[in-house]
Amino acid sequence: NAGVTQTPKFQVLKTGQSMTLQCAQDMNHEYMSWYRQDPGMGLRLIHYSVGAGITDQGEVPNGYNVSRSTTEDFPLRLLSAAPSQTSVYFCASRLGTPNYEQYFGPGTRLTVT
């Protein structure tokens, strides 16, 4: 199993540009989520999904869109990048039951200038 994969690993955007961060998992996990990690802020949940076709907002959803058309893929779209979105983004997945652990991807380091 490849686990959770994320692409790209690094990205630099100009303010106003849009892009999609890719996330895929091959473990047939129902639950997937996106976090951003900023210094001193811990992990903050952006969006999550409990299965294909179902998504919901987390703590900091503004400026981001998600979709879940398949069990495997959960892309995160930045609609119009802003410097405040400079961060490290992690995708995670888990079996549907909350007492299972999450598996995290390696992260995407995004800089918006």
Partner 1 sequence: GNSVTQMEGPVTLSEEAFLTINCTYTATGYPSLFWYVQYPGEGLQLLLKATKADDKGSNKGFEATYRKETTSFHLEKGSVQVSDSAVYFCALSDRTGGSYIPTFGRGTSLIVHP
Q: Which residues bind partner 1 (CB under 8 A)?
A: 4, 31, 33, 40-43, 45, 48, 50, 58, 90, 92, 94, 96-107
How would DSSP label each residue in 1-67?
Answer: ---EEEE-SEEEE-TT--EEEEEEESS--SEEEEEEEETTTEEEEEEEEEETTEEEE-S--TTEEE-
Residue 9 vs 77, nearer CB to partner 1: 9
CB-wise, 55 or 85, nearer to partner 1?
55
Q: How far is the CB of 32 from partner 1 (least distance, A)?
A: 10
Report the chain's terminal Cα–Cα distance, integer Å. 36
User: Minimum CB separation from partner 1 for residue 113, in Å?
Assistant: 22
